[in-house]
Structure formats: structure tokens, C-alpha cells
């Protein structure tokens, strides 16, 4: 068997390029919806009312997919709650879609940490599948025309500023 050490430089370059392309392809799977019409859905919220995405056409919508066991998701939910309080009067709708296997965990978290925006349950993960969620938290920004404009597949300290600037852009359109 030929070991990596005996590979020539061009062979190593080709292998590295292939690996890079594979990684980029895997990373690009999530934002495949970018520029596409946001898939419509109807889900039940933890408060008992039902929510249908298409009813918010004409407003900017933020959907975040989260899990109660995900620490980063909790930080992001707090940040989203602050931004919702600021911009809701400008025509912003926000939904948190729980992808927990056990809805009781999510319900417990929601009752312990009340948030201003609606928290929805997706026990069958149909909506998560529609939005090709493969990482938590994932946040989707939808413009007033119902088009997916931004997808965040993680949340870091620097992401808040970027998120807020892109959200403002959408609200100003």
C-alpha cells in the first residue's frame, strides 16, 4: 500500500484540493435555501396557538432552530430575544423551533426562561428537514417577500453584530 509520505507534491496538492472541496460542499448544504422561497409550515406553539409562516408574508421573519441541551442555543435565544424586543414594532416576527426529541425538556426550558417570541415544537422534525438543519443553533432570516436571505449555522461572539446589521438591512427594505 502506498503511504502518504511517498506521495509526490502534485498528488498531495490534488488530495488537499479534493478534501477542501468536500468540506466546502458539506458546509454549503445548509445554505442551499439561500435566495429560495422559504418553505411554508404550520406548527403548534408551546402556548397552544398554531403558527403558519405564510401569514407573516410582508414582514421580516427570523426562525431559529434550537435544542434545550445546547448551551450555545441558549445564549443565542437571549440575544434574539433582545433584538426582537427592539425591532418587533418595525415588522419583525420571530420563532424558535425546538427540535428536541422529548418536547417536555423544551417545555421545561421555555417555562423557566420566558421569551417574548413564540416557541414552536417540531416533534416529527418535519420543518427541520424542510430547512435542511444539520447543526444547532441554525438561524434563518427571511425577507418581506418570503425569500431566505441569510442562514447562520452557528453562533459566536462576533455573530451578533453581523446578525443585527443584516436584520436592519432587511427591515429597511
Partner 1 sequence: MPVTKKIGRIRDCLVAACALLISMQALAADTTSSAPAAPSSAPASAKSKAVASQVEAALAAADAAQGSAPAAPATLTTTTAPGAADTRSLDEDTQTLKKDVVDLNRDLFVLEEELLFPANTQVAVYVSMDVGEFFALDSITLKIDNKEVTNYLYTPREVDALLKGGVQRLYLGNLKVGNHELVAFFSGKGPDNRDYRRGASLKFDKSIGAKYLELKIEDRQRKMQPEFEIKDWE
Distance CA 99, CA 109 (A): 13
Label residue 135 left, alpha or beta by phi (over 0 means left) and psi (-120 to 50 means alpha).
beta
25 binds partner 1 (CB under 8 A): no
Q: Which stretch binds partner 1 (CB under 8 A): 47-55, 73-81, 103-111, 135-143?
A: 47-55
Kindly tell me which residue out of 33, 38, 51, 106 binds partner 1, with binding defined by CB under 8 A: 51
What cell was used for 133? 438543519
Name the minimum Å distance from CB 48 to partner 1. 8
The CB-of-54 to partner 1 minimum distance in angstroms stands at 10
Whole-number Å distance between alpha carbons of 46 and 106? 9
The three-state secondary structure class of 130 is: helix
Contact 155, 139 (CB under 8 A): yes
The closest of 140, 136, 99 to 120, measured between CA atoms, is 99
Contact with partner 1 (CB under 8 A) among 8, 50, 89, 165: 50
Region near partner 1 per CB under 8 A, out of 51-59, 84-92, 100-108, 147-155: 51-59
Establish if 58 lies at the interface with partner 1 (CB under 8 A): no
Binding-site size for partner 1 (CB under 8 A) equals: 8
- Contact pick of 40, 55, 78, 102 for partner 1 (by CB under 8 A): 55
Amino acid at each position: 500500500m502506498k503511504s502518504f509520505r511517498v506521495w509526490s507534491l502534485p498528488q498531495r496538492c490534488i488530495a488537499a484540493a479534493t478534501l477542501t472541496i468536500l468540506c466546502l460542499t458539506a458546509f454549503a448544504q445548509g445554505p442551499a435555501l439561500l435566495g429560495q422561497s422559504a418553505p411554508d409550515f404550520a406548527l403548534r406553539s408551546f402556548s397552544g396557538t398554531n403558527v403558519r409562516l405564510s401569514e407573516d408574508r410582508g414582514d421580516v421573519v427570523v426562525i431559529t432552530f434550537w435544542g434545550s441541551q445546547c448551551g450555545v442555543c441558549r445564549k443565542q435565544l437571549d440575544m434574539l430575544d433582545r433584538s426582537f424586543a427592539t425591532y418587533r414594532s418595525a415588522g419583525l416576527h420571530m420563532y424558535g423551533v425546538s427540535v428536541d426529541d422529548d418536547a417536555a425538556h423544551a417545555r421545561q426550558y421555555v417555562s423557566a426562561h420566558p421569551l417574548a417570541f413564540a416557541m414552536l415544537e417540531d416533534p416529527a422534525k418535519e420543518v427541520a428537514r424542510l430547512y435542511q438543519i444539520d447543526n444547532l443553533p441554525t438561524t434563518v432570516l427571511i425577507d418581506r417577500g418570503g425569500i431566505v436571505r441569510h442562514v447562520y449555522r452557528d453562533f459566536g461572539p462576533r455573530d451578533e453584530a453581523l446578525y443585527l446589521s443584516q436584520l436592519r438591512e432587511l427591515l429597511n427594505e
